[in-house]
Structures are given as structure tokens and as C-alpha cells.
Structure 1
Amino acid sequence: MNTQTKIIAIDDDPTGSQTVHSCLLLTRWDVATLLEALQDASPLFFVLSNTRGMDASSAAAVTREICVNLREALAQAAQQGTHIQPVVVSRSDSTLRGHYPVETDVIAEELGPFDAHFLVPAFFEGGRITRDATHYLLVDGEAVPVHETEFANDSVFGFSTAFLPDYVAEKTGGNIPASAVERFSLADVRGDIGGRLQALHGNACGVVDAEQQADLDSFARQVLAAAQTGKRFLFRSAASLLTAFAGLPPQPVAAADMAQFVRNGKAGVVLMGSHVGKSTLQLQYLLEHSDVLPIHIDLDRLVADEEELFSAIQGQLQAASRKNRGVVLYTSRGEKQFATKAERLAFGDRVAAFLVRLTQNLPEDIGFLISKGGITSNDTLSKGLALRTARVLGQIRAGCSVVRCPADHARFPNLPVVIFPGNVGGDEALAEAYSILTKG
């Protein structure tokens, strides 16, 4: 029987492909779609679960459904003569926000048992490194512990420490004490960890240091070698580990040449749902350094009279289209405060549904679409554009994937779509991507 290794990333928002190219993103996870991805030529694929936008119970249910269907798809592939050895990655945020350990626990229940699961949050393109088991965000060249950044104050996924063993203890409610967490230092991953990997058992928890891609390349190489001997590992990681696992050549189309995918020289649309401070600074820079037309999605007006707001925005979009002028649709800045997490998530769902409706009704002849924010981008792909799968063309800038609608898409054939995470890039990053697509 033919045996293959396939890297399968269950991605809690659609930005995990931000370091790779030529692979499939799945917005659905029925057995037939998963089997199609397992048989695809690319060494990896992503299942976009979008669970970061859900409560913990819903996240667990969706993750379980994906795992059950994946198990069946793997069985069908084996029946057809191909034994696939999966390397399962629970891809999540490089600033430690997400449903940990909920998702890794469900994956272990359905696809385990695993000898260990590793937390590998380093994401070099976004300036996230891990040193001495502490996770840092590089800000103007200075390494700031991530618990001292705005991301640690997230109303749903907040945390108090960037020291990963303590983070694990906090998030597991003490079920995994900090003292039980295996630490893989920079010296470890740059050396020989084969013996330590072989000794792991019982779904032990490990945290992994990395300051540069070569660190994860070394770690991944040794992990895959151990897997070949029968060791089974699960990973909770940001995107850079996937680069190491996939080992892809340079992307076929350079970032600077992505304008070749813009349709008919037409102006594009930027859709900005992300409200983190980094996104707001990027919005301001874009407005100051381009002729893009700003259209405010006023969330107070959304609550007061959704239909009136929708109609007004539609009028502005159509007027801009007639003049072939680019627009940026952006939600009110800042994070609204709510009494409970449930109310916060419910309001997020309402805003997301409105953004989907706007996407579905964009002018049909737009040249490109930039979707800013993880949850926004997932909804753009799966609901706004109703894509079952999409293939990643590559990155337009570090951490920002470009995908394209299929040629037979009912409304937007061959439309290039940039998936731009909320927490990636300097102030100029969004304007740079916009400029690349408009220079043609």
C-alpha cells in the first residue's frame, strides 16, 4: 500500500495559511471534501473551523465533527490503496488567544491517543518569538511579553502570563501543572531531541522555543523522524511551524506581481472587520496614503436600523463602482464592552452576518477584495463568497495569503482575495498590499 504523510491543519480562523502556498483551504468538512484534500498533490491542507468566533461548547462540537469525518476520510483513502499518516496541527493565534485546551482535548479523544501535544506559538512574519518558554511580541525591535500587550486583554480569551508552562496551567485549570510541562529550549531544538521525543508518552504537554525559522525546521525534522518510528504527536501552533513541516519551494508568483490576478484593471474593496489597535493604525495609514474611499459601518446605526444602514452603504458602493474608485468598508473602531461573554459573542455574530451580506452584494465587477481580520475572512470565504474550497496562490506580504475564486463562480469568477490577519504587519502593511494590487 502506498504510504504518504499529510499535514492537516484544523484552523480556528482562516489566517493559518499565511506562510505557505499552493495548498487547499476547506470551508466545509464533509467526508467527500476531506477525501479530495487528502488526495491533493500539496503536502498540507487547512480545514477552516472558525472556532475562535464561537463559544467553547460550539468550538468543541465543530472540532469533533471535523475529526470524526477526517477519520472516515482516512479510512476511505486506505480502502482505495493509500495509507495516509496524518500530522495534525490545531492552528491558532500567535498571541495565545483561542480555545485551548478545548480543541486539543477533542482532537486527542477522536484521533488519539497521542504521546504528546506541543504548544508552538512562534510566528516570525508577525514578530512573535518564544525564548526561555516565554512568548514575546517584537514591538519596534523590543521583545515584549505577550501578556503585556492588548491581546492578553481579549474579552473572550484573556490570559495573565506569557510564560507558557504557567499559561498551560492557567488554561487547563491546573489539570496540567506548570511543573509537568516539558520545555524545549532554543539549545534543545537546535540540538538533538530525538531521545526526549521517544520518551514522551500519555499526551504529555511540551512548549517549544523558537526565534527563527531554522529553529522550527530543526524541531519539525526531528518530530517527523520520530513519527516515522510510530510516535504520535499533536501540535497547537501558529503558522510558522506549518512552514517547517511543509518544506515548500518559493511561491510561483512573487508578492510584487500579485496585481496580475486583478480583474480587468478594476478598483477593489477592502473589508475591515478587525478592530484591534494594529488594524486601526493600518486603516489610518491607508486613508492617508491612498485615494481609497472610506465607508464607515457604524455599529450603533446597525443596532438602531440595520436596513437603513445597508441601503446607504449599497448606494455608496455603487457610486464608487461607477467611478472605478476603490473603497474601504470598516466597522466602528475599538471593542464594545458587554456584561457577559455570551452577549459579546452574540453581537459579534450580528456584525459578522452584516459583513457577509455586504460581501454577497458587492458590485460584481470589482477587481479584488482584501478581507481584514480572521473571523471576517472566514465568513468572507465560506459565506460571503460561498466557497467550498480555495487554493492559496501565495503571500502578498509576510503573513497575508492570496486566494482566488474559481473560474465558474456565480458572482465573482477568478476574484483574488487577500486574507489579511488583524494582528499582522506595521502601520503601512495594509496600504502596501493595496498599492501592489492597484499598481497595474
Structure 2
Amino acid sequence: MQPKIIVLDDDPTGSQTVHSCLLLTQWDIDSLRLGLQDQSPIFFILTNTRALTPEQAATVTREVTQNLKTAIAAESIEDFLVVSRSDSTLRGHYPIETDVIAEELGGFDAHFLVPAFFEGGRITRNSVHYLIIDGVPTPVHETEFAKDSVFGYHHSYLPDYVEEKTKGKIPATAVERFVLDDIRNGTQHRLMQLSGNQCVVVDGETQADLDRLASDILATAKKGKRFLFRSAASILTSLAALGPQPVAADEMAKYTREGKPGVVLMGSHVKKSTQQLERLLEEPNVVAIEVDVSHLLEDSAVQRQDLLTEILQKIQQVHSEGKTPVIYTSRQEITFKSVETRLEFGVAVSDLLMDIVRGLPEDIGFLISKGGITSNDTLSKGLALKTARLLGQVLAGCSMVKTSSSHPQFPNLPVVLFPGNVGDANGLVTVYHRLSQQS
């Protein structure tokens, strides 16, 4: 029997390579039991910890894992794998989250770093993690992601990355390496030798590499070995082995409600998102609605309410004309005096965007949410979903979920969770066309 794969996802985009499973936005014991009972071999707990401070991330992860322990015992689950799903460009609270998971769920023989994400052009070769940019593999420490003001780093060679992030607690020399030749020749013997939550960094150039590794991992897990993963999404495809999704990506317009125009909500600020936004705004029947957030932390409650009212009126007008409003936050770079201030600003922006979601016309055909944190908040706060059923991918790396038929405001609404750094320059246009029944 296949082990249950339990994914703690630090933003809601980790389900971007699987389908037909549950996403939980809450982690009370009853909700976790729903995930454990579900027929799918995999489910996701959307912790959104990448938007939190290190201390908050540790607290949330501890709460989730303590409740998981209770839920697993209640359901008499014996075989399970735990995945701390995070960013394929190495941003996130590592090793904080894996340390807490290991403390609470204990007894892991190893934790694997598997950042390869093929749909997004991320591969790992000779323990060096690359982002393919215009066909050229570029070490990730040379990309914009390594300069992230919260999660920056200096190394693409994963053992050095581990040493940097653990502040020397795990020296590079102590990290086990599974390179491509190892994986392709089989790793069961080495997997059986691992113990004491050994750190292992894993190569991957193709899905077939991770399929082979997953097969060996599942075989050794049956023999009693316990493994923890810190990974991007591609290893989940291999572990869950779900097969093709029920409705193909280019046919997903059949989920659009009554063929009506939708709404696009843009929170992500990475370069690729801005390129995709610019292309989308060239399309007929879309209307740009820019939200100036530059003074959000200084604005009074009255000023904020006036801004919200103005935006919602514009959205209603565009929608009534049969067009699609594209709501996006102002793109100018803002500097902050501290990481805490930056995170506080992010919360203020997200709160405003969620008020916008709650105020959308109730008969929209679909909703595209761009950016990981924005998407998480759209599900958990804007739409107030406790669970959502994943339909599949409308574009490689872009999940689509549907609200329940009993949702009080937006029943059966298809919602696209579009990560900031996924897709080519036309990616957003492609998704818009697929849901608008345009070729």
C-alpha cells in the first residue's frame, strides 16, 4: 500500500504538479483527518510560512505537526512521508521548518533537499542548482532570487547552501550527495544506510530521474526507513504517481462559470510577473486597474477605505461591460528600514487585496491569482475556504482549484494559483485565453 504523502506547503503553489487532491487552508485536527481520510495518496496543508517571520514560521509548523501527530494516531496511519514543500529557487525558512518537523514527528533517518522543478526550468546537476534562463543553465546564486531581502543566499552548490543556512551546524562536508549517476544506477543500498536525520542533497535533470529516486525511496520506506523532504514540486509528481489529470489544460474553459469574463489579481513583483502582466494588458477586452500601495503603511483607515471603494467601483464597471479587470499592485520598488517592516507592508498589501476579493462581482467566471502569498491569502482569507479540491494544471506549474457548490458567495468558482516565477512571458495570456475560451 502506498504511504500517505503529507505536504506542509509554505505557499499554495506546491501542488503545481499534481491533481485531484485536497488543499487544506486550516490545520485543526478535524481538517487534518479529512486530508488523511481522502482517497488521494497526497494532500497539502497551506501554512503560508514564507510570508511569516522565522519565529512565526516555527510556531505555525509546530502547531501543524503537533496536530498531525494526533490526527495520524486517530486515523491509525502507519505509513506516511512528510514533505516541507518550498521554493525551487531556494528561498524559505530552511532549516527552521525541517528542524521543527523532525523534533515533533521524530525518528527520521534522513532529510532530502530536492529543489529541482522541471516545469519552472530548475534543475540540479553535480549538486549545483540551476535556473534555466533563455536556454542557459544559470547557478541560482547568480539570479534575482538569491538577492531576496528576506531569504537571500550566496551558494548554488547545495552542500555549501546547507552550511550557510544552518550557520555551520551541518558543515558542507557532512552532507550526503545523490548525483545523477547515483540516482540512475539505483540508490536503495545507500538509502538503507542513512540514519540520524542525515542531510542529503539530490540531483535531478528530468522527471525520470526523480521517478527512479521515488521508486527507491518508497521501496526502502516499506522496509521501515523514515524520510523527510525539503523540496520543490517535481518530486511530488514522482512520489504520488497520479497519472494524467481528468480535464486537459487546454480544455479547462469548461470549468468557467457560464462562460463569463473573469478577474485577474496580481500580487507578485518578480521580473517575470511584470513581463507577463505587460503582455496581458496588450490583450483586447482586458482593463488595467492599478492599486497604488506605496503609501499603504502611512494611510489612515479612511484613506484606505476610499481607495478600496474606488477600486471596487472600477472593477464593477469593467465587469458590467463584459470585460476582464486586471488588478495589480503598483510596480515601483520600495525600500524598507527592516525586514520586519517589509513583512508588515506585505501583510497590509495582502489585506487590501483580500478586501478586493471579497468585494468582487459574485457572477465572475473565473479568478486568476498571481503570486504565491497572494494565492494563499485568496484561498484562506479572500474566499474563506477550509478545503479546496485541486482540479489540475491549467499551465505547467499553475494549479487550478474549484470552490464548493455550497460556497456562500462564489460557488463552483475556478481559481488559478499562478506562482510569481512560473511560465514564459506569455504565460498569463495563455491561462487567460484558456479560461476565456479563446485559442
- Pairwise TM-score range, normalised by the shorter structure: over 0.9
- Supply the distance in 2 between the matched residues of 1:192 and 1:334 (Cα, whole angstroms): 49
- The answer as to whether partners of 2:366 and 2:414 remain within 8 angstroms in 1 is yes
Letter in 2 for 1:382: S
- Supply the distance in 2 between the matched residues of 1:132 and 1:253 (Cα, whole angstroms): 37
Do the aligned partners of residues 84 and 39 (structure 1) sit closer, same or farther apart at CA in structure 2, a change above 3 Å counting?
farther
Q: Hey, what does 2:187 align to over in structure 1?
A: 193
TM-score, length-scaled by structure 2: 0.97
- Supply the distance in 2 between the matched residues of 1:156 and 1:301 (Cα, whole angstroms): 21
Report the count of equivalent residues. 434
Q: Hey, what does 2:424 align to over in structure 1?
A: 426
Letter in 1 for 2:290: H
Match of 2:273 among 264, 274, 279: 279
Q: Hey, what does 1:134 align to over in structure 2?
A: 128
Match of 2:224 among 203, 225, 230: 230
- Supply the distance in 2 between the matched residues of 1:300 and 1:206 (Cα, whole angstroms): 43
- The answer as to whether partners of 1:51 and 1:58 remain within 8 angstroms in 2 is yes
> What do residues 9-39 of structure 1 show as CA deviations (whole Å, max 9, x unaligned)?
1000000010000000000011111111111
Match of 1:365 among 348, 363, 366: 363
1:243 partner SS: helix
Q: Hey, what does 1:249 align to over in structure 2?
A: 243
- The answer as to whether partners of 1:290 and 1:431 remain within 8 angstroms in 2 is no
Deviation at 1:183, TM superposition (A): 0.6
Q: How does 1:398-417 map to 2 (within 5 A)?
A: 398-417=396-415
RMSD: 1.0
- Supply the distance in 2 between the matched residues of 1:281 and 1:275 (Cα, whole angstroms): 10
- Supply the distance in 1 between the matched residues of 2:186 and 2:3 (Cα, whole angstroms): 23
- Supply the distance in 2 between the matched residues of 1:69 and 1:62 (Cα, whole angstroms): 11
2:3 partner SS: strand
User: Residue 218 in 1 paired to residue 212 in 2?
Assistant: yes
Q: Hey, what does 2:38 align to over in structure 1?
A: 40
- Supply the distance in 2 between the matched residues of 1:36 and 1:314 (Cα, whole angstroms): 36
- Supply the distance in 1 between the matched residues of 2:306 and 2:346 (Cα, whole angstroms): 20
Match of 1:86 among 70, 74, 80: 80
Q: Hey, what does 2:433 align to over in structure 1?
A: 435
- Supply the distance in 2 between the matched residues of 1:14 and 1:393 (Cα, whole angstroms): 14
Q: How does 1:15-54 map to 2 (within 5 A)?
A: 15-54=13-52
Letter in 2 for 1:186: L
**Structure 1 range deviating more: 11-20 or 188-197:** 188-197
> What do residues 340-368 of structure 1 show as CA deviations (whole Å, max 9, x unaligned)?
11111011111111111111111111100
2:91 partner SS: coil
- Supply the distance in 2 between the matched residues of 1:196 and 1:345 (Cα, whole angstroms): 42
User: Residue 306 in 1 paired to residue 304 in 2?
Assistant: yes
2:43 partner SS: strand
- Supply the distance in 1 between the matched residues of 2:57 and 2:362 (Cα, whole angstroms): 34
- Supply the distance in 1 between the matched residues of 2:56 and 2:284 (Cα, whole angstroms): 41
User: Residue 295 in 1 paired to residue 289 in 2?
Assistant: yes
Match of 2:372 among 367, 371, 374: 374
Identity %: 60
- Supply the distance in 2 between the matched residues of 1:321 and 1:179 (Cα, whole angstroms): 58
Deviation at 1:88, TM superposition (A): 0.3
> What do residues 322-349 of structure 1 show as CA deviations (whole Å, max 9, x unaligned)?
1121011001115421111111101111
- The answer as to whether partners of 1:276 and 1:335 remain within 8 angstroms in 2 is no
Deviation at 1:224, TM superposition (A): 1.0
1:275 partner SS: coil
Letter in 1 for 2:202: V
1:288 partner SS: coil
> What do residues 221-273 of structure 1 show as CA deviations (whole Å, max 9, x unaligned)?
10111111111110000000000000011000000111001111211000000
- Supply the distance in 2 between the matched residues of 1:170 and 1:376 (Cα, whole angstroms): 29
Q: Hey, what does 2:203 align to over in structure 1?
A: 209
Deviation at 1:307, TM superposition (A): 1.6
- Supply the distance in 2 between the matched residues of 1:316 and 1:273 (Cα, whole angstroms): 18
Q: Hey, what does 2:100 align to over in structure 1?
A: 106
Letter in 2 for 1:182: E
The runs of 4+ residues in structure 1 deviating greater than 2 Å are 300-305
Match of 2:5 among 7, 17, 42: 7
For structure 1, the residue ranges without an aligned partner over 5 or more in a row are none
For structure 2, the residue ranges without an aligned partner over 5 or more in a row are none
- Supply the distance in 2 between the matched residues of 1:151 and 1:433 (Cα, whole angstroms): 24
